[in-house]
Structure 1
């Protein structure tokens, strides 16, 4: 008689080296979250209110600075950036690397696409899609930045001015996130820089 156990081929839903479903020692399937939804739980009233307040303040600061300089800083992609930083500060898309590199890389890609291929919805769609690959390559994934590529194609901004304003807006939102975190308004931010 051998001390070896028979080798089993993993069945559906199992991986090599794991016990078959229902076998002793097999991990029980994860129970669905309360309420049957896979959505994240409500963070609580206080975090929700403070995250909302931090987002409003961040966007009002962008508007005020834009009004003071005669420039448009409060663009839709940066509004989405403010929401991500202030409501989910621990997630990778909220981190400074993703915010700044994602926004600037996608903005530059959109400008290049428009310069070579013109200003159309077709070019905007391709630029937004390619911006995803660029962000993955840079390890700086930030979903609102795909919209920045679209904006760069369809709005035909002055390239240098657009990139400077995008950099200022992105860095300002990161700084406002830092301030909000230090003040205890939002959770720890950032969780990493590089």
Structure 2
């Protein structure tokens, strides 16, 4: 039985104009392998490409539906499809041992007992990053983005943080939590 949909190949620039899509985005999708050669696009001459509008629009609809799925489901689908970057990230998290939380109260050395409970963020940055500490303006943007854990406290016009606070990437934390490794 013949397919009712007709493949519609147009030059890349014309196809982008017809679909009202950015030519730059389509080219980056071609370069990074998100759309397939000879299925979504094909080379017809020296640096000349054609785009199969029908297949490309179907692919866009699939991507739109996929973004509606929960994060863990998208990760599972990516692994099934053989997404190498995703598989490398999963392998890296598997090799790292999960943090073990100690149930007993640890015995702290005398110097640790005298540490201040909260310190200004500029001091924390200097202790954490040394000579390469980012400016206070950058650290304030990290605070607003939730990238410092435990969260700093604002007292008056200044932020104060625990001395053992860490810079964390929320995206990595979300991924690790979703696979049960953090």
TM-score (norm 1): 0.22
Q: Look at both structures and tell me which one has the larger radius of gyration over its CA atoms.
A: 2
Q: Which has the higher strand share?
A: 2
**TM-score, normalising length from structure 2?**
0.23
Q: Compare the two structures and name the one with the higher helix fraction.
A: 1
**Higher RCO by CA contacts (8 Å cutoff, separation 6 or greater):** 1
